[in-house]
Chains A and B, each alone.
Chain A
Amino acid sequence: MPYGYHGKILHVNLTTGEFRVDEHDEAFYRKYGGGSALGMYYLLNETSAGVDPLGPENVLALCLSVLTGTAISGQSRMTAVARSPLTGAIGDSQTGGYWPAELKFAGFDGVIVTGRSPKPVYLWIQDGEYELRDASHLWGMITGDAEASIRDELGDDKIEVLQIGPAGEKGVRFAAIMNMSNRANGRTGMGAVMGSKNLKAIAVRGKNRPEVADKSALNELAKWGVSSLPDSGIVGLAKYGTAETTGVNHTMGTLPTFNYNSGVFEDWEAIDGTTMYDTILRGAAEGKQDRQGRDTCYACTVRCKRVVEITDGPYKIDPHYGGPEYETTSTFGNYCGINDLAAIAAANQICNQYGMDTISCGATISWAYEAWAEGKLTAEDTDGLDLSWGNAESMVKLTEKIARREGFGNTLAEGSQRASGIVGRGTEEYLITSKGQEAPAHMPQVKKSLALIYAVNPYGADHQSSEHDPAVGGDWEDNIERMGMIGVTESVPEEALDEEKVRYTLATEWMYSAMDSLNLCQFVYGPAWQLYGPDEMVQTVRAVTGWDDVTMDELQIIGERRLNMLRAFNSREGLDRSSDTLPRKFFKNALKGGVSDGYKLDQDEFEAALTSYYSQSGWDVETGMPSRAKLEELGLGWVADQLHA
């Protein structure tokens, strides 16, 4: 019998309203693990080259893993994959929350959505049963209202709702898929894909918890996690949130400021995680924020999610919509030179109500702020808004305009790369995109391995696809044992981007890729500072699935397999080495101020790293395409047949 999974994937064609249930055997699950790799199995099998990201033929795969819904921290996650309307490349995005576990309890390991419904619908799944229901009355609702309406009409307030907001309905190219009204499959525009299918929501409820092979072993791992948390590398992140890193990044010169022109922000302390904890977390005024101002995902002991409440002042924040992560305080804050934490929380709330990625939204606004500063945009372009650095009021207004595709917001809703094409006037010089996706708040000018990852990552600039440089540099002594399990045995200088750094980057990229297939949280599991290391990751898989001979090497291969599938999809769409690029400004403009003053990337060093990366990956160094031999080695001969026909 299967342990951890049901062996069932629900497949719905929204054009015809037809369902089917795909059943896969144990070998299939052990090969792909779930999550992104499972989704890519469907994308590569059920789409053809040239698929329109917003057309009915695009496939939206929402996939769990063999671990989802079990009683241990960091497992309740879901990956969405589809061709991205933002980048034109493969799209890939993870979320946490309770929805992933509840879908598993409802009887399925994933939902594959194809076609386009003639009218707005939502999918209701309960204990192995499923139906499409009319969503015309929900269309246009913000997330909190739609969630409440669905629970009300189905008569169960424990139902978990995955949905798009109005931004997804209107095709904002970085629209997110939301659950709990505050958790997001944020990146790469998966919400726009869902909106293009007229699918408003997927509501789930069930009692069908998966059997676990060794409950006792899993329980021991869970208890170890609880007892180890206070002494772990994530204890600060748990209590003070991801924005605890704001001051660290400012000090290290890695806090992207003024649209990535500087690595330091003078007013960083106003938007830091410690400040957030003291001021706007729910219950902070009474010192009760640890109980009221922190939220969690199913079965997770970490409780890192922020819950903000503001009842006075110009920006009222409803705690239902959560609170900003570090990426969000950065993109709406230091990227734009804004030091108003309440305004940042307001922008975050709009993104969660309307369903938008806070990284791309904030970074697209910061692109506009730089264009304004350089005189390339005026009030005539911006509906009268003053986009001077630091203008918080305009930032919040612009966020709402984007969500509604109103006025200048309609231009920015296309993402910064397309917006620069619309505006022209040389504004492409201010882009901070790779493959058309806006860069997150970790600076590759200083963290050199991220220069490589931002460029080669199949779905564009991403900070959660590998371990960053400090883990193999200054923090090496803390990580030797865990790194050894993934084949990294020597420290590499943080400033290096040589063959050894590429080897490290690739090894950690495979591990992160495995985690995106097993749908494990990258704060809870990882090769360095995380709560659980590679050894516990293997033990978790063994305890849940009963695959007692599984090893870290096998999990690394799952990660490598996923990356090759993502890469093959892009190769099929004509993307090659010339698509693995970084923004020009990263090479051209030296950073200003602080410890990273003068830093910029070197083109020759970057190109050499790129060649080394392809070579070490077993890919063609000229094209970056996976070779037939590599694909066959990974059991992906069927992909090779598509790619090398």
Chain B
Amino acid sequence: MTVTIHLQLYSILREKLPPDARGRADLALHDGATLTELLERLDIRRNNIVISVNDTHEPDRSRVLADGDHIRVFSAVGGG
């Protein structure tokens, strides 16, 4: 069993995917996969990132992902 999630990476995190993808990918994950596992698969090791699941902030990296979830991952630093 797998679930498919819609992933969008922003800013420097986009470079975890091929340039043509512009940060977007649909990924198949095993049933029960968590945000932590997704980050490991993407080799995102930074701590200071912000994640939303279906446009809602998700601080819990143990969240189990569901089929069709829309995941956005941002790098969290910067200023004006």
Residues on A facing B (Cβ under 8 Å) = 233-237, 239-240, 242, 244-245, 247-248, 251-253, 272-274, 278, 325-327, 330, 359, 440-442, 463-464, 470, 474-475, 477-478, 522-523, 529, 595
Contact = CB atoms under 8 A, between A and B. Distances in A.
Contact of A529 (B12, B48, B59): B48
B48 A475 contact: yes
Contact of A240 (B11, B51, B79): B11
Nearest to A523: B79
Contacts of B75: 236, 244, 248
A325 B72 contact: no
A251 B47 contact: no
A325 B80 CA distance: 6
B79 A244 contact: no
Contacts of A359: 80
B23 A440 contact: no
A237 B78 contact: yes
Interface string B1-30: 000000000111110000000110000000
Contact of A253 (B23, B57, B72): B57
Given A237-B77, A251-B57, A441-B80, A274 B47 contact: no
Given A244-B11, A470-B76, 17 more contacts: A235-B12, A236-B11, A237-B79, A239-B12, A240-B10, A240-B11, A240-B12, A244-B12, A244-B78, A245-B78, A245-B79, A247-B74, A274-B11, A274-B23, A326-B80, A359-B80, A529-B77
Contacts of A233: 48, 77
Contact of B10 (A242, A247, A522): A247
Given A242-B80, A464-B80, A274 B14 contact: yes
B23 A522 contact: no
Interface residues of B, number: 23
A231 to B, nearest CB: 9
B10 A251 contact: no
B47 A477 contact: yes
Nearest to A266: B55
B80 A272 contact: no
Interface of B: 10-14, 22-23, 47-48, 50-52, 56-57, 59, 72, 74-80
A526 to B, nearest CB: 9
Nearest to A237: B78
A274 B72 contact: no
B42 to A, nearest CB: 15
Contacts of B23: 274
A237 B40 CA distance: 23
Nearest to B14: A274
Contacts of A464: 79-80
B77 A251 contact: no
A251 B72 contact: yes
Nearest to B49: A248
B80 A247 contact: no
Nearest to A239: B12
Contacts of B77: 233-234, 236-237, 245, 529
Nearest to A530: B77
Contacts of A440: 80
B80 A273 contact: no
* Interface core residue of B10, B52, B57 (most chain A CB under 10 Å): B10
B78 A478 contact: no
Nearest to B47: A478
Contacts of A240: 10-12
Q: Ordered nearest first, which 3 A-B pairs have the shortest CB separation?
A: A236-B12, A327-B80, A236-B11
